[in-house]
Amino acid sequence: MASLVKKALDKKFSRKAFIGWSAAVTATAAVPAYGLKKIDSRVAAEKLEEEGRWVSASCWHNCGGRCLNKGFVVDGIVTKQKTDDTHEDTPDYPQQRGCARGRSQRHQVFGVDRLKYPMRRKHWEPGGGNKDLRGRDEWVRLDWDEALDLVADELKRVKENYGNKSIIGASRLINHYGGALVRWGSSSSGAWGKPQQHMAANLSWGGSDRLDWRNAKLIVMWGSNPAWSNGGNPQYNLLQAKKAGAKFIFVDPFINPSIKSLDAEFIPCRPGTDAALLLALAHYMIENDLQDQDFLDRCTVGFDRDHMPEGADPDENFKDYVLGTHDGVPKTPEWASEICGTPPEKIRMFAQEIGTTKPMIFQSSFAPARTYRGQQFCQAFLTVGWMTGNVGKPGAGVFTLNYARNQSYGGKTLVMPGGRGLENPENPLFPGVTFGAYDGYRFAAPTRTDFHGMAYTETYDAILNGEYTATVRGKVPCDIRMIWKVRNGSGDNFLNQSSDIPKGIKAFRKLDSIITNDIVLSTISKYADIVLPATTEWEKEGRINTGNPEAIFIANKVTEPLFEARSEEWMEIELGKRLGIDEETLYPISEKQQFFNSLAGAQVIQDNGEDYEPLVSITQEDIDQWGVEGEAQSGRIALDELLEKGSYQVQRSPDDQLGDIKGKTYVDNPEENPLDTESGKLEIHCQILADEIEAYGFTTLAPIAKYEAPVEGYEDTFEDWESKKKGEFPFQLVTIHYPRRSHSVFDNVPQLREAFPQEFVMNKRDADERGLKDGETVLIRSRHGKVLRHLFTTETMMPGVVSLGEGAWVDIDEETGIDHAGATNMLNGSHLSGQGEEPWNTCNVTVEKYDGKPLKSDEHWDQRVIF
């Protein structure tokens, strides 16, 4: 391996030779340590089996799934992969199998597109240089000392001239250097955060234990497609519930693969109109006396005028609003159908089912709340779910699911890693939030006045216009000069993954400097000035990955850093030396010690379902061998066995004591077990929710669920709503999680491009009306940007709704402004809404045949490679 890397770094190492090396690492018949010459494939195979070993090499991406991933390592190269074979596969104790993305991990780690050395943009200089060339400039190779000196000098220059508030960034180094502006808000979970907090005291996060799903007679999945959105076992777990007798109903604009595989009832609903459909369900239930009035009276406030929270206007109750008592507009199925597109008879059937079937699980994904004013959907969903009384009982639940409860995993966390022993330094400009980008959705109090930073969707306007919304403080001035972006290899690529890429590029081309580290030239790094090559998790000391509450997964070190790649920790230590921050302050313990600490501190639940005990047995010999500090201990599994096995999964059975019925204690006795809400109960009328949303300064919200047309919702597809005359942008775009990528990660992997082409999906009747045919290149335009894609027509998509998978790497033609890759954030606008959620699923577009050169199919695109 060492000889190969040396050759790759040699200036005479040719493009042809490098491509040959990249092909070699993905073939089982060639081993890089033996050079690039041809060898007998039988000899190579024998060498592989003789010299290789299986290493647990877990995925690390933000995909929503967690699986066991192993690589067969020969001389530091993964030549093949496999997934979980550690035990027999059964429904109660399923293997944790990887998806197509996870099985392509080696093609990412050892891909020809890996960044090989530090580099800067040719025409950049302190202060920006030729800023218009960002994204299209040449790259100049640097050695590490040059690169680190440039970065440190630029950090000093910007801080001394403009102050820390002129930097957008998040890292240990930057926090120790005085902090930076934070981008906050909500991306993945949409508008769910505040409604869950104030209406439900977070009781509806996560759901019940997966084995309890088999007790349900009916399972409603709202805006969910786990077969695509979550790799691993979620869909398999749902299949077990179906085999146990559950009927499935899915609400979606698209008859997706999850619906088909579960033979589910399909309820069509246009994006952003879900609240209207839910209000019609409530109307039918009230008119037919199907609500669980005892549950509503005991456990909720705000349903009717006799059960309002203290101090609230009795006329502001949910029941009177649905019946139209005061506004004269009953929220009937006919009223809703005009908005959401669901036939009235289907609405009545749906309401009858959920109102009469017990036990029922009423579950929503995050997607319907990733809309403008998405809180109204969350309010309506919780309210209608609570009307059925399916809370705190076996086989029942009303909840939405976060990544730790992957669309069929709920209940208690049964096994967990220990802490790494590294305290997170606070950002002085954003106290209480460590790194902001991912923690920002927990930004709890809009009345705070001690923070400095803007909502995700206001970042580009803040750069361009010199001000941002600081909640109750209103607009505050800013002078942003620099972006400091780390950890891109994990998928946090905000230029590609935040709304309004065209505006983002304008903003990037205004800044003095953009500095990133990355493993490949992702979109944010393509538009950067200095890019530092980072190691992947396979090149680091190791960590424990979580997400599935029944298992943990070990990511061992697989290979030494490739080319000149270095870990973020190493980079920050070296920069710290240049900025006067010592290593002991930045990283007082080594990466190996951090990994060991997480293993030694891991806990597993005991059979009683309440207490925890150490997971890992560690001997003094282990400690000496690792060269770390620690104490010997007894646990469930030996350290060497856990590392070799690659995972620890708690074995389950339907009669174990490890399950959990969420909300049972509260429902059994609400008075003695009050919730952490203003009233102590589930709040259908929630004034504090309305007050906090107003305090953010973006949109307003009623204290009960109502329907108000969103910006770029269905109503905005019309030039005139009353006459139903369509406007310039007659279609609604829904942006889905797609099996080709984990957000933007993996988009440069050739076989995934071939397996999952980035197709623009449209109802066949809509296409026929416009003379569009399958496979043609079409131009999709919105108010914000335009993209090209191949067309795929189907009857499984609602008329008037179109779809693209999110995360494609934007590839803009600078002359036309058209993106050829189908990056959805070229089309999504950066609208400010609610608690700063990104409203990706409320977007209007138009579609037409493209008269220019047709696109090549995705698998024939050149990879984005820097030699």
Q: What is the DSSP string of 225-252?
A: -HHHHS-SSHHHHHHHHHHTT-EEEEEE
**Phi, psi torsion values for 191, nearest 5 degrees:** -90, 10
Average pLDDT over residues 205-216: 89
pLDDT at 32: 34
Q: Do 203 and 174 reside in the same domain of the chain? A: no
- Domain that residue 351 falls in: 193-410+682-696
pLDDT at 49: 67
How does pLDDT run across 148-180, given as a tens digit for each residue? 999 999 999 999 999 999 999 989 999 999 999
Q: Which amino acid is at 743?
A: H
CATH number, domain containing residue 761: 2.40.40.20
Q: Residue 36 pLDDT more than 80?
A: no
Domain boundary pick from 696, 730, 754 = 696
- Asked, for residue 663, whether it belongs to a domain, the answer is no
Q: How far apart are CA 444 and CA 134, in angstroms?
A: 36
Distances (CA, A) of 630 to 586, 590, 594, 618, 620: 21, 13, 11, 9, 8
Q: Residue 3 pLDDT more than 80?
A: no
Q: Do 145 and 223 reside in the same domain of the chain? A: no
How does pLDDT run across 72-126, given as a tens digit for each residue? 999 889 999 999 999 999 999 999 988 889 889 999 999 999 999 999 999 999 9
Q: Do 207 and 338 reside in the same domain of the chain? A: yes
> Does an H or E element contain 74, and which?
strand 70-74
SS3 309: coil
How does pLDDT run across 43-73, given as a tens digit for each residue? 556 666 667 899 998 888 877 667 899 999 9
298: exposed, middle or buried (Cβ count in 10 Å: 0-12, 13-18, 19+): middle
Q: Do 262 and 368 reside in the same domain of the chain? A: yes
- Asked, for residue 657, whether it belongs to a domain, the answer is no
CATH number, domain containing residue 319: 3.40.228.10
pLDDT at 43: 52
CATH number, domain containing residue 600: 3.40.50.740
Decide the pairing of beta strands 482-485 and 167-169.
parallel
Q: Residue 434: which pLDDT band, with cuts at 50, 70 and 90?
A: very low
pLDDT at 655: 92
Q: Residue 144: which pLDDT band, with cuts at 50, 70 and 90?
A: very high
Q: Do 365 and 432 reside in the same domain of the chain? A: no
Residue-wise burial string across 7-31, b where 16 or more C-beta atoms lie within 10 A, e elsewhere? bbeeeebeeeebeebbebbbeeebb
**Which strands form 530-533's sheet, in the order they lie side by side?**
139-141, 119-121, 530-533, 513-518, 482-485, 167-169
pLDDT at 547: 78
Q: Do 566 and 582 reside in the same domain of the chain? A: yes
How does pLDDT run across 248-268, given as a tens digit for each residue? 999 999 999 999 999 999 999
Q: Residue 41: which pLDDT band, with cuts at 50, 70 and 90?
A: low
Q: Do 174 and 204 reside in the same domain of the chain? A: no
Q: Residue 595 pLDDT more than 80?
A: yes
- Asked, for residue 707, whether it belongs to a domain, the answer is no
- Asked, for residue 757, whether it belongs to a domain, the answer is yes
- Asked, for residue 275, whether it belongs to a domain, the answer is yes
Q: Do 478 and 615 reside in the same domain of the chain? A: yes
The rounded mean pLDDT for the chain is 90
> Does an H or E element contain 48, and which?
helix 41-51
Q: Do 422 and 404 reside in the same domain of the chain? A: no
Q: Which of 593, 622, 179, 602 is nearest to 422 (CA)?
A: 593
What is the number of alpha carbons within 13 Å of residue 66 lying toward its C-beta?
23
> Does an H or E element contain 454, and which?
strand 453-455
Q: How far apart are CA 700 and CA 446, in angstroms?
A: 13
CB-based contact 207:405 (threshold 8 Å): yes
Higher pLDDT, 302 or 2: 302
pLDDT at 228: 87
Domain boundary pick from 109, 142, 165 = 109
Q: Do 405 and 436 reside in the same domain of the chain? A: no
Q: Residue 39 pLDDT more than 50?
A: no
- Asked, for residue 803, whether it belongs to a domain, the answer is yes
Q: Residue 342 pLDDT more than 50?
A: yes
- Asked, for residue 186, whether it belongs to a domain, the answer is no
pLDDT at 14: 38
Domain count, the chain: 4
DSSP string, 642-693: HHHH-EEE----TTSS----TTHHHHH-TTTS--SSSSSSEESS-HHHHHHH
pLDDT at 26: 40
Q: What is the DSSP letter of 546?
A: -
Q: Do 154 and 299 reside in the same domain of the chain? A: no
Domain boundary pick from 86, 109, 132 = 109
Q: Do 450 and 555 reside in the same domain of the chain? A: yes
- Asked, for residue 674, whether it belongs to a domain, the answer is no
Q: How far apart are CA 480 and CA 167, in angstroms?
A: 6
